[in-house]
Structure 1
């Protein structure tokens, strides 16, 4: 970083975000690659880290410039396609032209705030307002950085990253061999030799060189602490265009992309300047297509020139825009559309009527859009209402042609107007259906149903960066086996100092948020405080809340109760309960030290009552010491008349805590005689160890329940964040009241209104 003279951010409490775009990978091909083992890192994120895979509707056109315009600036359908006629210059343009991309981005910037402000961006169409731009259409900046290096610094930089240099060289050599083999196959299949030769260097540069440089840059930016980083990995999209989205060569590139994601994700987890989230998404998919010139023997430009001499055609992909030399009357548009469909094998032609309505012409008839879109796109289109609306908007775009030719209709095989085997930009179900892979704890807009679109991802990203609160949102959590049950978490947070030695309360909060428990029992906050005082009472009396607990609760945005067990000398073993509903203290206090063990740290317990789902529940939280005789004395005290053995203990009870006792210990066995250990007796479940988080070797963190409960599920998370956030692993248990107990437990008072599950 110093050799390249790159600025470094100061450590910040604000979160960071890394957005990784896998260009052109549809949801279907993503699922297929997961099943075939091509994406082991993404599979790990789903299975172990709790990431959720969402269908991602691209909007129209289903192309990168439109998706990034909506994501970066909040503007839908920023351009009609990758190629169109620009009114300012009156010529056909392509979005990889620097001056064109810059002009379009200026228009976008006037309509919305940039998402990537202060961050960095790699291999994109737009800069997104990023401070550092690399390999994007408007700006190429890495060349400037490399020129700024002196020769000695450049040599040292190469030696420092020698392993990466060797890997890139090896991958390039392998890719060249595969490209030559692919070239020979393409020639034998009758494809153009000139185009196949041009594809070899393009394939090596895009699939290897650009991908590796972007990955190295993103890893450096994470280490520097930039607030937001976006990179676009193009290799799959490039291969899928040439050989088809389901081809072996296209799927081969996914293993390299998966490896890059693994390196970036690990760098984000090791980052010391910010707490990063890593989101992965694909902007669109691709349809497997027939090339129109191979299908009909003529190009679309030749067909249009025959029907409309002097007309221009912009055709990159399955959408072609026709710009006649003079405006066409409605009757002429309709006649040309019918001729193109019936005589020249165009699946669908759209045009805008003088009254503003959009008409579609297919072999099945003529239809109004969006009202009759199902007749054109099919009733089974996964995004039918949304894509119908966006199709009408696209046809009315000021840069669209008088006729819009579509290579996709629900009743026809897909075609693309250039010579390619995979295409996107149109309204097909595969090309409009990407994926978004988001970590648990992410807040998304409340309107989100079964899928996301770029605007939803933008709002979620702005919220994650702390820039704009969601007016109405919901948090993605790890799914509950019983939506109507109770979820409890017991967590020794080790003073919010993780296994890597970092003090980071926000990591603890994020682990909790991923599971969204109804009640959290926290041990070892290591902060002096008041026993059993509600947060409001503590602040009203002028007593400051413990900073670490305050940071956790502010992140969770819940009502809570803080209970300190003890603060003695330099040791603190404070306990806290955090709940989504108000808590009522039954007892909070110190446990008596053993008479023959003077000098042992004093321990405590917190016992409270909470009303959830119409029932009154009791929960006790404690953290016992390391001395065996003192632990046993404390358990006897907790089971005695002043605590759980007294008249106030009635109804469902949950006991949480770090007991510092394994299942072989006397303390554990004493509790197990009266209550049920949630990790024992559950079908198809083996008890998990909880300490230490990095290398668990003993089970000392426990949750016990009374006979009133049925245990539905138990989890001891081993996700990377949970491993790093504390030296203990949390215990998460899903409970439901046993049917026999529901009739005899008195219902609670009317529940207090709250923002359950709100972001």
Structure 2
């Protein structure tokens, strides 16, 4: 909405607001802070530079003024350049923007303590890094400076919008907060409901804990189903199409390709299969950092729209050009690398089990996740200032660390605490926003811990499958083809292995790539007669699901479970996987491109640990443990109408209803009759039930 002067206002009132003592005091503090920071940084930098002649304090103070003047002149120009370039250009210019400001100031230094652009450039780079470190130390690791920069960005955007709308611009006071409703949906990737509940009760999440204890929000669990992966969850939450995705990776027999859902070119192919044009974000919504767009009007850092933000994303440009943006994230990221090295070494010295290697690519992922988190929050702040009706943003910090450290280990919980601080930042940005935003926090899945399949059994799953295959599968394949003649040929040449194992956590899809159609048990036994029985009897495999004549059957070491009618022979292999296992497996069998065989690793009966078929100590994708226990934190007065919240499609329908409640969505006619019957379920006090009861932390019990 336009920002205009209220009737009866006066320039005198605006001036009084501008020079009100609290605002003047805040500005004085900011100036003093910046001056002290610059003085300390320049003193340290000049002391570290070899061959720099000593000068007195007065000269250094003069250089502080020089830096301030140069920054006041150059930073607006650099920000304009970063905005104009967009994308990679913004990133490259943003990286050097602060160095340029410092280098120009040092070159113009009247005392000429540094000479030559190479020396000046090195000194400028050193000064910028020292400044970021000093600012972080002064703030004691809080997000205060980041918050101030975000507020400055939002005020600038709203004033610019007011000018474009033709309203009289309020240049002397900040725009008033918006009154129309808006919705922020923040996804904390991989955070299970039990982990979140424990962290809140321990007092480690002050923002979410305050919301729950004060009664403004309620928390409940939701069951993710199979596969318990981010792409499947977001296909359901954003598009209502979870069944289109059988795993994090899968093989498509029609094309002979292995699809990887976080690979941009594959995600771009997958999204049109999910979208019917009526996704969660279609009505002016914004997708930030997600796998798929949800039919958003604006998609930023979304995998299926593989591109960096363009010229219109001022939040991207401001983050890159700000000394409290990219430079801060870079310094924090370097610190994360050293922290990771120390934490990994500590696990090895304590012989902490289970554990996996935490070197290689993961060392780069930790600083990258911090950079992505800060960029995402900056982009969310921009969209709040612009007045986007709904924003959906995925924050991945916890999930990345938990994969390698373990979902409940101290280093993972530290990442969760940092995400809680970011939720506090978004809450404090509310007064600057163009709408009155309500916040919903959810996860796409949880994580389950355990030693890997290779660690526990001394071989990879691929090796185990190879052991149970016939010695000469080519001869068996040809025999099957001759036996089925004169049917249309089923056998074909394939560029991949004849038996392809595609893992996603403790879920694995097995494909017989020489056959165009999905095989049932009779045909699989004809080619590989020992395979199904051998896998079902393997101590590391809890379930082998295969199609038979009367429907899919799940086999375990001591029994089987026919999924269509629930008939059990021997010991029920589904018991360790909870009450939803049969429904999860049945729905998964309807997914496009599901494997000829579906494997789920065994669940430890004592610890509830599962073994990933990948080298991850914290995993998700299959069944067992906490990986299927997602969480949902929502305003307490909003009712849960989707009974049980089973599957991401149910979460999609629930979010649609809340958008309608806010007046941000009009449901299509055909959607009014779609979906399963629902019942109203009000928020209730916190219970120990972990199967989906609504939850609120009561002050009398936890406060």
Work out which of the residue numbers 540, 546, 552 in structure 2 matches 1:351: 546
Q: Which residue of 1 aligns with 2:295?
A: 129
Higher strand residue share: 1
Q: Which residue of 2 aligns with 1:421?
A: 617
Q: Secondary structure at the match of 1:290?
A: coil
Q: Counterparts of 1:286 and 1:261 in 2: how far apart (Å)?
A: 21
Q: CA 1:338–1:222 in structure 2 vs 1: closer, same or farther (change >3 Å)?
A: same
The answer as to 2:357 corresponding to 1:200 is no
Report how many residues are paired: 472
Q: Which residue of 1 aligns with 2:654?
A: 457
Q: Counterparts of 2:320 and 2:448 in 1: how far apart (Å)?
A: 41
Q: Deviations over 1:520-551 (max 9, x none)?
A: xxxxxxxxxxxxxxxxxxxxxxxxxxxxxxxx
Work out which of the residue numbers 260, 272, 276 in structure 1 matches 2:422: 260
Q: Counterparts of 1:285 and 1:238 in 2: how far apart (Å)?
A: 12
Q: CA 1:71–1:157 in structure 2 vs 1: closer, same or farther (change >3 Å)?
A: closer
Q: Which residue of 2 aligns with 1:278?
A: 439
Q: Counterparts of 1:380 and 1:369 in 2: how far apart (Å)?
A: 14
Residues 295-444 of structure 1 mapped to structure 2, 5 A cutoff: 295-308=456-469, 310-324=498-512, 325-326=514-515, 328-331=519-522, 332=524, 335-343=530-538, 345-355=540-550, 357-369=551-563, 371=566, 375-378=572-575, 381=578, 384-385=579-580, 387-409=581-603, 411=605, 413-444=609-640
Q: Is the 8 A contact 2:191 2:446 kept in 1?
A: yes
The structure that has the greater radius of gyration is 1
Q: Secondary structure at the match of 1:262?
A: helix
Q: Secondary structure at the match of 1:138?
A: helix
Q: Counterparts of 1:379 and 1:184 in 2: how far apart (Å)?
A: 34
Q: Counterparts of 2:395 and 2:330 in 1: how far apart (Å)?
A: 18
Q: Which residue of 1 aligns with 2:198?
A: 32
- Deviation of 1:34 after TM superposition, in Å, equals 1.3
Q: Deviations over 1:342-362 (max 9, x none)?
A: 24631211111133x111111
Query: TM-score, normalization: structure 2?
Result: 0.61
Q: Is the 8 A contact 1:74 1:458 kept in 2?
A: no
Q: Counterparts of 1:149 and 1:413 in 2: how far apart (Å)?
A: 45
Question: Larger deviation: 80-89 or 216-225?
Answer: 80-89
Q: Which residue of 2 aligns with 1:239?
A: 401
The answer as to 2:183 corresponding to 1:17 is yes
Q: CA 1:476–1:395 in structure 2 vs 1: closer, same or farther (change >3 Å)?
A: same
Q: Counterparts of 2:366 and 2:249 in 1: how far apart (Å)?
A: 22
Q: Counterparts of 2:198 and 2:449 in 1: how far apart (Å)?
A: 15
Q: Is the 8 A contact 1:72 1:115 kept in 2?
A: yes
Q: Deviations over 1:600-649 (max 9, x none)?
A: xxxxxxxxxxxxxxxxxxxxxxxxxxxxxxxxxxxxxxxxxxxxxxxxxx
Q: Which residue of 1 aligns with 2:237?
A: 71
Q: Is the 8 A contact 1:443 1:464 kept in 2?
A: no
Q: Counterparts of 1:343 and 1:449 in 2: how far apart (Å)?
A: 34
Residues 93-112 of structure 1 mapped to structure 2, 5 A cutoff: 93-110=259-276, 112=278
Q: Counterparts of 2:574 and 2:239 in 1: how far apart (Å)?
A: 29
Q: Secondary structure at the match of 1:133?
A: strand
Q: Deviations over 1:671-715 (max 9, x none)?
A: xxxxxxxxxxxxx99xxxxxxxxxxxxxxxxxxxxxxxxxxxxxx
Q: CA 1:366–1:191 in structure 2 vs 1: closer, same or farther (change >3 Å)?
A: closer
Q: CA 1:413–1:195 in structure 2 vs 1: closer, same or farther (change >3 Å)?
A: closer
Larger relative contact order (CA 8 Å, sep ≥ 6): 2
Q: Secondary structure at the match of 1:304?
A: helix
Q: Deviations over 1:459-492 (max 9, x none)?
A: 3343244214689775856869xxxxxxxxxxxx
Q: Counterparts of 1:440 and 1:8 in 2: how far apart (Å)?
A: 33
Q: CA 1:187–1:199 in structure 2 vs 1: closer, same or farther (change >3 Å)?
A: farther
Q: Is the 8 A contact 2:278 2:295 kept in 1?
A: no
Q: Counterparts of 1:71 and 1:17 in 2: how far apart (Å)?
A: 15
Q: Which residue of 2 aligns with 1:756?
A: none
Q: Deviations over 1:570-628 (max 9, x none)?
A: xxxxxxxxxxxxxxxxxxxxxxxxxxxxxxxxxxxxxxxxxxxxxxxxxxxxxxxxxxx
Q: Counterparts of 1:434 and 1:38 in 2: how far apart (Å)?
A: 19
Q: Is the 8 A contact 2:301 2:308 kept in 1?
A: yes
Q: Counterparts of 2:589 and 2:463 in 1: how far apart (Å)?
A: 23
Q: CA 1:281–1:379 in structure 2 vs 1: closer, same or farther (change >3 Å)?
A: same
- Deviation of 1:252 after TM superposition, in Å, equals 1.2
Q: Which residue of 2 aligns with 1:584?
A: none
Q: Which residue of 2 aligns with 1:707?
A: none
Q: Is the 8 A contact 2:443 2:630 kept in 1?
A: yes
Q: Secondary structure at the match of 2:388?
A: coil
Q: CA 1:199–1:157 in structure 2 vs 1: closer, same or farther (change >3 Å)?
A: closer
Q: Counterparts of 1:68 and 1:182 in 2: how far apart (Å)?
A: 32
The answer as to 2:398 corresponding to 1:227 is no
Q: Counterparts of 1:149 and 1:430 in 2: how far apart (Å)?
A: 39
Q: Secondary structure at the match of 2:296?
A: coil
- Deviation of 1:98 after TM superposition, in Å, equals 1.3
- Deviation of 1:372 after TM superposition, in Å, equals 5.2
- Deviation of 1:39 after TM superposition, in Å, equals 1.1
Question: Larger deviation: 442-451 or 457-466?
Answer: 442-451
Q: Is the 8 A contact 1:244 1:250 kept in 2?
A: yes
- Deviation of 1:64 after TM superposition, in Å, equals 1.0
Q: Counterparts of 1:137 and 1:88 in 2: how far apart (Å)?
A: 24
Q: CA 1:389–1:477 in structure 2 vs 1: closer, same or farther (change >3 Å)?
A: closer
Q: Is the 8 A contact 1:289 1:416 kept in 2?
A: yes
Q: Is the 8 A contact 1:448 1:456 kept in 2?
A: no
Q: CA 1:116–1:49 in structure 2 vs 1: closer, same or farther (change >3 Å)?
A: farther
Q: Secondary structure at the match of 1:273?
A: coil
Q: Is the 8 A contact 1:352 1:396 kept in 2?
A: no
Q: Counterparts of 1:473 and 1:294 in 2: how far apart (Å)?
A: 46
Instruction: Point out where structure 1 has 5 or more consecutive residues left out of the alignment.
Output: 481-514, 516-683, 686-759
- Deviation of 1:406 after TM superposition, in Å, equals 0.4
Q: Secondary structure at the match of 1:254?
A: helix
Q: Secondary structure at the match of 2:423?
A: helix
- Deviation of 1:228 after TM superposition, in Å, equals 0.9
Q: CA 1:195–1:31 in structure 2 vs 1: closer, same or farther (change >3 Å)?
A: closer
Residues 83-94 of structure 1 mapped to structure 2, 5 A cutoff: 83-94=249-260
Cα RMSD of the aligned pairs, angstroms, is 3.7
Q: Which residue of 2 aligns with 1:249?
A: 411
Q: Counterparts of 1:226 and 1:14 in 2: how far apart (Å)?
A: 11
Instruction: Point out where structure 2 has 5 or more consecutive residues left out of the alignment.
Output: 1-75, 85-156, 166-176, 474-497, 687-695
Q: Deviations over 1:43-95 (max 9, x none)?
A: 01111252100112112211111111111111232301001002443121210
Q: CA 1:116–1:372 in structure 2 vs 1: closer, same or farther (change >3 Å)?
A: farther
Q: Counterparts of 1:44 and 1:440 in 2: how far apart (Å)?
A: 13
- Deviation of 1:21 after TM superposition, in Å, equals 0.4
Q: Secondary structure at the match of 1:246?
A: coil
Q: Counterparts of 1:365 and 1:130 in 2: how far apart (Å)?
A: 47
Q: Which residue of 1 aligns with 2:50?
A: none
Q: Which residue of 2 aligns with 1:184?
A: 345
Q: CA 1:448–1:307 in structure 2 vs 1: closer, same or farther (change >3 Å)?
A: closer
Q: CA 1:306–1:451 in structure 2 vs 1: closer, same or farther (change >3 Å)?
A: closer
Q: Which residue of 1 aligns with 2:114?
A: none
Q: Secondary structure at the match of 1:322?
A: strand
